[in-house]
Amino acid sequence: MKEEQQWFEIHNKELKWVDGRNVVLYTVYDITENKKYQQKIERQVNNDFLTGLYNRMRCEEDMAKYIEQTKHEGGEGALLYMDLDDFKHINDGLGHQYGDVLLKAISHSLQRIVGIESSCYRMGGDEFIIVVTHTKYWMLGSILEQILEIFSKPWFLKGADYYCTASMGIVRFPADGDNVHELIKKADIALFEAKRSGKNRYAFYGEDLDSSSFKRLDLEKNMRNATMNACQEFEVYYQPIVDDLGKEPFADAFIKIVCELATIIGMHVCVEGVESEKQFEILKSIQIQMIQGFYFGKPMKKEEFAKKYL
């Protein structure tokens, strides 16, 4: 049976004994219970209650130390912001208890990777931060491969195998910044790029990502404001259903719609965006069989379409 760890506190005091000798009196106190209570409080403050990983507060404290150490000793470190792809499907489909089982299994797998055993943090929900310190930076490639390997295999949940992948955004410090909150924000931007590129991958932060991130924030802000204004700022456009076998020559009108739409809301937002002269010629050769536009649930008649666009 394993012996329980104990802690003692020792005090000493010099005094003169009854026979006149100078002696030192030692007093030993058993502080095991106090020490255990202190450790419990520290765990509650620094650790995530579900996974046992360090939490957001501890992450920010440690990151500040890692940044200073890296600046003082030289070299480079990396912060990996990881988010599980479609974790909501597991949570909603199987139940939150199985979502918790998955989070714990992922946490334990991360802690087994050499180089990041003590630098994994759960930020909340299905978001994690992994720090590769400057002394382990040379292992970054291997660490990334091992993390992706964790998610290449299914997780056994509720009697069956389920897949759950992860995306990561990566920043280097101090190259990409020397402020904790700034680095986390940039890592989040890189994470969004990884998600946008198809998920189950990682992306490194670059200054070019900043501008697209601000555009996204502006778009979200404007859309929220518009919904609060009874959606009066939204306009509805009609998407023609295209068929090569169509009999009516609506192609020119279709091109007109596409060009107008691309000009107003941006080329990439337009479903049938004209991005090149070649595409333009292809679209001109297409005939439209039917117009299936909806405006508050009402379809646009062909006659109305012809009157407006032809």
pLDDT class of 215 with cuts at 50, 70, 90:
low
- The predicted structure's pLDDT at residue 10: 87
pTM to 2 decimals?
0.60
Q: Region 229-257: what's the mean pLDDT?
A: 54
Give the Å distances, CA to CA, from 299 to 238, 240, 241, 246.
9, 11, 13, 19
Mean pLDDT of 209-224: 65
- Among 21-35, 79-93, 230-244, which range has the highest average pLDDT? 79-93
Omega before 249 within 30 of 0, i.e. cis: no
The torsion defined by the Cα of 261, 264, 266 and 268, in degrees rounded to 10, comes to: -20
Q: Which CATH class is domain 47-220?
A: alpha beta
Region(s) of the chain under CATH 3.30.70.270: 47-220
For residue 172, what pLDDT is reported? 95
pLDDT at 92: 87
| Amino acid occupying residue 38 | Q
Q: Looking at residues 214-229, what average pLDDT do you find? A: 67
Nearest to 133 by CA among 191, 65, 47: 65
pLDDT for residue 76 is more than 50 = yes
What is residue 176's predicted lDDT score, i.e. its pLDDT?
92
Residue 246 confidence class, pLDDT cut points 50, 70, 90: very low
DSSP state of 120: E
- Of residues 79 and 245, the one with the higher pLDDT is 79
Residue range 99-127, pLDDT digits in tens: 999 999 999 999 999 999 999 999 989 99
> CB-based contacts of 12: which residues, under 8 Å, 6+ apart?
24, 25, 26, 27
**Which of these, 140, 168, 151, 165, lies nearest to 80 by C-alpha position?**
168
